[in-house]
Amino acid sequence: MDDNSNRGKTLLLEQVKDLENRTKSAIKSGDYALTYSLVVEYEKLINSAIGNTESNKELLRELTLLKAESATCPPKSKDDRLVQLRWLDNSISKLKMIAKILSPIDTNLELGLHPRVLAASEKLLSDGHFSQAIFEAFKALEGYVKRKTGIKNRVGKSLMGHVFNESKPILKIKYSLPDTAKEEQEGFKLIFMGAMLGIRNPKAHYEIIQRDRARTIQYLTLASLLFKTIDDATLVQNADVTEKPQQD
């Protein structure tokens, strides 16, 4: 993604926020004469957003609907300027959500995500493909465990339960205190298993809509923590990796 594209998306969000503030101000002050110009500006920002969606078909579909709705601003009350402004305020909030999704973030500098998470998900995150970004991060996590342990016949929850087993671990996590080693091993085993079962699997098998960028980043931060846990873990060299295939 080039710098000009990033600047355009950042500017779009700033313009939408400015329009929202002026619309709220017009509602509060009763300055209904601004209604027409605000609506025209809103329509221009929709067109600008459409030009910035690139390959995100879901956002393009939502913007197309907003553009169609703007032609009936608002239905049944064309002469009521206050109703129009309130309708506009509600519509701008929808456009702002899309503009936030499109707005770029510096995931490397601002978030400190693990390099393997960035490699798997940064482009998807920047383009607003949030559900796919989460899935790819946790799929990469599973692949990393397989490569580090040499295990090929287990996947998902079964893989994590076997690798981080507290009684006979293949990857022994870095514990805080000797007295808590087994508890911490079991705890992280359950976290890794839960990540496969509750995060990776649903996004692999179902079409899940994720629009919240902040929540997406939280998922990626969790994936980064788990990658770092694997980086710090000790590989038990005498692990048995020759066994029958196991699946979730």
Class of domain 3-102: mainly alpha
The answer to whether residue 97 scores a pLDDT higher than 60 is yes
pTM (two decimals): 0.57
pLDDT value for 76: 54
The pLDDT, as a whole number, for residue 242 is 47
What integer is the mean pLDDT of 19-43?
Answer: 87
Q: What is the predicted pLDDT for the residue at 158?
A: 93
Would you list the domain boundaries of the chain?
3-102, 108-235
| Mean pLDDT for the stretch of residues 178-206 | 86
DSSP for 66-119, written as a single string:
HHHHHTTSSTT-TT-HHHHHHHHHHHHHHHHHHHHHHS---IIIII---HHHHH
Provide DSSP, 185-226.
Answer: HHHHHHHHHHHIIIIIHHHHHS------HHHHHHHHHHHHHH
Q: What percent of the chain has pLDDT over 70?
A: 81
pLDDT in tens, 204-234: 666 666 777 888 888 999 999 999 999 999 9
Q: Residue 245 above 90 pLDDT?
A: no
Q: Is 154 helix (H, G, I), strand (E, B) or coil?
A: strand
- For residues 104 and 102, what is the distance between their CA atoms, to the nearest angstrom? 6
**CA 112/CA 190 separation, integer angstroms:** 25
Residue 186 identity: E
